[in-house]
Amino acid sequence: MHPRVGRLHHGVVYISGVRHDGQGRADRSNRTLNRRWVDITNGSRRAMHLDHWTLSDAEGRTYTFRHVRLDGRATVRVHTGVGRNTKTDLYQDRRTRVWDTNTDTATLCDARGRVIDTVSWGHDQRRDAAGRRHHGDHAVGHRH
């Protein structure tokens, strides 16, 4: 299932991939939780500081970026479970899933709370800020 794009602000930082289907209903192991992730990419040449940026789901479960510098042309993967943060992998340190398999929306906001990008899946129609249907898909299952 490919998520549909709902890009609201065309920023240089964007959601470049989502894996929301890596967990069975009964399996809450940390390994399984970490198979569910969202990739955030910096499309510019210069580094961006993501301190106080947020990544949230449709129900309002929110991860706040702390002391994160994303190099130019780099991607960081935000895993659901517990782990040790590195330059390429961040962990929400959750013990339960965040991303719903059937329908959900991942929303990236900057430090001022402005929506930078959204990716939805399981919705029949997704419209951008201008009300247009958007048909492009983000990559699912791999890092850029």
pLDDT digits (tens), the chain, 144 positions: 344 444 444 469 999 999 987 545 556 799 999 999 999 999 999 999 999 999 999 999 999 999 999 999 999 999 999 999 999 999 999 999 999 988 999 999 999 999 999 999 987 544 444 343 333 344 444 333
Position 52 scores a pLDDT of 98
Q: Are strands 37-42 and 75-79 parallel, antiparallel or unpaired?
A: antiparallel
CA distance 30 to 79: 10
Give the per-residue pLDDT at 25.
Answer: 56
